[in-house]
Amino acid sequence: MTHTTPLVFIVDDDVSVRESLESLIAHAGWQPETFASAQAFLARDRSTSPCCLILDVGLPDLNGLDLQKLIGIDRADMPIIFITGYGSVPMTVQAMKAGAVEFLTKPFDDGVLLAAIGNAIEGSRAALAQTERLRSLRAAHASLSRREREVMELVVSGLLNKQVGGELGISEITVKAHRGRVMQKMNAGSLPDLVNMAARLGLRAPQSH
């Protein structure tokens, strides 16, 4: 995991708002990056650091709600805080339903915004950590041999070693050896650990013949 300073992206077409937020966020200890349009923001490389996005609803090219639709699906690690000068209840509801963590109407209290950013950054950290754990899990599973994967899938489906051996046409002793290597490579401390890992990987037990 990276331990760089969290990033706070600001997308607002009002230069005075951008400069004001940039100063506030930098003073709070985060690293601000400002953009005058949605397209300018989309051109930036994806961040691997904890981050959040402060997004104005009324942008000239692509409005904030449309930008949220574009990036919200696969960017759980970048919570969105909306700001607007003319918020409405339907607009707020739409943004929050789509996953926004806060919706603030200008002028808003600096303390409220900073608290929202702090919460968003913590959410980003958690999402990045979860992504990293899943990546490590997939890498561990990829390191298994074909036979070890077969043994793992049958073991986590609830079969005993003898039954696994019957399914695969190998001895119980061989099953135990494969199972031991699976536990070691997956870094699983117990069978429940392995079952949880299989569930997170979306593994399904092979059909019995």
Distance separating alpha carbons of residues 80 and 103, to the nearest angstrom: 9
| 48-89 pLDDT per residue, tens | 899 999 999 888 888 888 888 888 767 778 999 999 887 666
Q: Provide mean pLDDT across the span 91-105.
A: 80
Tens of pLDDT along 8-32? 999 999 999 999 999 999 999 999 9
Tell me the average pLDDT of the chain.
89
Residue 208 to residue 76: CA distance in whole angstroms: 38
> Could you give the dihedral angle defined by the CA atoms of residues 19, 21, 27 and 33, in that order, rounded to the nearest 10 degrees?
-80
Side chain identity, residue 59: L
Taken in order of first residue, the domains within the chain and their CATH numbers are 7-132 (3.40.50.2300), 143-201 (1.10.10.10)
